[in-house]
Chains A and B, each alone.
Chain A
Amino acid sequence: MNVDIQALNDKVQKESAFVKKLTEEIGTVIVGQNYMVERLLIGLLSNGHVLLEGVPGLAKTLTVSTLAQAIKTKFQRIQFTPDLLPADLIGTLIYDQQKGDFTTKQGPIFSNLVLADEINRSPAKVQSALLEAMMERQVTIGENTFKLDDPFLVLATQNPIEQEGTYPLPEAQVDRFMLKLSVGYPSRDEELEIMRRMAKGKTPAVKAVVTPKEIISARNTVDEIYLDAKIENYIIDIVFATRDPKKYGLDDLTELISFGASPRASISLVKASKAHALMRGRGYVTPDDVRAMCMDILRHRVLVTYEAEAEEINSENIIQQILAKVEVP
Chain B
Amino acid sequence: MVPEGTGKVRKIFYFMAYFLLAATTIGGISIAETEVKISARLDSDEVPFNREARLVVQARWIGPANAIKIFPIDAPTTTNLKLLSTSTANAVSSENGLVFSKREYEFSFSGETLGMAYIDEVILRYHDADLQEHVLRTARLPLRIIDPVAENSDGLTLFILAGLFILLFAVAWTIYFLWKKKSTVEQESEMAPVKSADEEAVEDLKKNINLQSTEIGAQYSEIARIMRHFLRRRFALGASIGTTDELIENLTGKKVAMEELATLRELMQACDLAKFSGGSSDANQLARIYNIALQFIEKNKFE
Q: Identify the A interface with B (CB < 8 A).
A: 1-6, 226, 228, 230-231, 283-288, 291-292, 323-325, 327-329
What are the residues of chain B within 8 A of A284 when measuring CB–CB? 273, 276-278
Report if B244 contacts A (CB, 8 A): yes
Report if B240 contacts A (CB, 8 A): yes
Given A284-B273, A286-B272: A3 and B244 interface contact (C-beta under 8 Å): no
What are the residues of chain B within 8 A of A6 when measuring CB–CB? 279
Contact A231 B278 (CB under 8 A): no
Closest to B228 in A: A328
What are the residues of chain B within 8 A of A325 when measuring CB–CB? 240
Contact A3 B279 (CB under 8 A): yes
**Most chain-A Cβ atoms within 10 A of its Cβ — which of B242, B244, B273?**
B242
Report the bound CA distance from A284 to B271 in whole Å. 13
Pairs of residues from A and B, 8 with the lowest C-beta to C-beta distance, nearest first? A328-B242, A324-B240, A5-B279, A3-B278, A5-B277, A284-B277, A288-B243, A228-B276
Contact A291 B243 (CB under 8 A): yes
Question: How many Å from the CB of B282 to the closest CB on chain A?
Answer: 10
Question: How many Å from the CB of A130 to the closest CB on chain B?
Answer: 36
What are the residues of chain B within 8 A of A286 when measuring CB–CB? 243-244, 272, 276
What are the residues of chain B within 8 A of A285 when measuring CB–CB? 276
What are the residues of chain B within 8 A of A328 when measuring CB–CB? 242-243
What are the residues of chain B within 8 A of A3 when measuring CB–CB? 277-279
Question: How many Å from the CB of B275 to the closest CB on chain A?
Answer: 7
Q: List 10 A-B contacts (CB under 8 A).
A: A228-B276, A228-B277, A230-B275, A284-B277, A287-B242, A291-B246, A292-B245, A324-B239, A328-B242, A329-B275
Contact B243 A287 (CB under 8 A): yes
Report the bound CA distance from A284 to B272 in whole Å. 9
Convert B231-275 into 0s and 1s, putting 1 for each residue whose CB lies closer than 8 angstroms to a CB of A. 000000011101111100000000000000000000000001101
Q: Identify the B interface with A (CB < 8 A).
A: 238-240, 242-246, 272-273, 275-280
**Most chain-A Cβ atoms within 10 A of its Cβ — which of B272, B273, B277?**
B277
Closest to A277 in B: B276
Contact A4 B279 (CB under 8 A): yes
What are the residues of chain A within 8 A of B245 when measuring CB–CB? 288, 292
Per DSSP, chain B at the interface is loop
Question: How many Å from the CB of A161 to the closest CB on chain B?
Answer: 32
Contact B276 A2 (CB under 8 A): no
Report the bound CA distance from A286 to B272 in whole Å. 7
Question: How many Å from the CB of B240 to the closest CB on chain A?
Answer: 3
Contact pick for B279, options A2, A287, A324, CB 8 Å: A2
Contact B244 A228 (CB under 8 A): no
What are the residues of chain A within 8 A of B238 when measuring CB–CB? 324
Report the bound CA distance from A284 to B239 in whole Å. 25
Report the bound CA distance from A191 to B173 in whole Å. 72
Contact B278 A2 (CB under 8 A): yes
Question: How many Å from the CB of A93 to the closest CB on chain B?
Answer: 53
Closest to B272 in A: A286
What are the residues of chain B within 8 A of A2 when measuring CB–CB? 278-280
Report the bound CA distance from A283 to B279 in whole Å. 11
**Most chain-B Cβ atoms within 10 A of its Cβ — which of A288, A291, A328, A329?**
A288
Contact B246 A5 (CB under 8 A): no
Report the bound CA distance from A1 to B217 in whole Å. 13
Report the bound CA distance from A288 to B279 in whole Å. 19
Contact pick for A228, options B240, B275, B280, CB 8 Å: B275
Closest to B281 in A: A5
Report the bound CA distance from A4 to B273 in whole Å. 12
What are the residues of chain A within 8 A of B242 when measuring CB–CB? 287, 327-328
Given contacts A2-B278, A5-B277, 16 further A-B contacts (CB under 8 A): A1-B278, A3-B277, A3-B279, A228-B275, A230-B275, A283-B277, A284-B277, A285-B276, A287-B242, A287-B243, A288-B243, A288-B244, A323-B240, A328-B243, A329-B275, A329-B276
Contact pick for B277, options A226, A324, A327, CB 8 Å: A226
Question: How many Å from the CB of A205 to the closest CB on chain B?
Answer: 36
Closest to B279 in A: A5
Question: How many Å from the CB of A219 to the closest CB on chain B?
Answer: 21
Question: How many Å from the CB of B228 to the closest CB on chain A?
Answer: 8
What are the residues of chain B within 8 A of A1 when measuring CB–CB? 278
Question: How many Å from the CB of B100 to the closest CB on chain A?
Answer: 76
Contact B240 A231 (CB under 8 A): no
Question: How many Å from the CB of B265 to the closest CB on chain A?
Answer: 11
What are the residues of chain A within 8 A of B279 when measuring CB–CB? 2-6
Closest to B239 in A: A324
Contact B278 A228 (CB under 8 A): yes
Report the bound CA distance from A292 to B244 in whole Å. 12
What are the residues of chain B within 8 A of A228 when measuring CB–CB? 275-278
Question: How many Å from the CB of B81 to the closest CB on chain A?
Answer: 72
What are the residues of chain A within 8 A of B273 when measuring CB–CB? 5, 284
What are the residues of chain A within 8 A of B240 when measuring CB–CB? 323-325
Question: How many Å from the CB of A76 to the closest CB on chain B?
Answer: 37
What are the residues of chain A within 8 A of B277 when measuring CB–CB? 3, 5, 226, 228, 283-284
Report the bound CA distance from A5 to B277 in whole Å. 6
**Most chain-B Cβ atoms within 10 A of its Cβ — which of A3, A226, A285, A286?**
A286
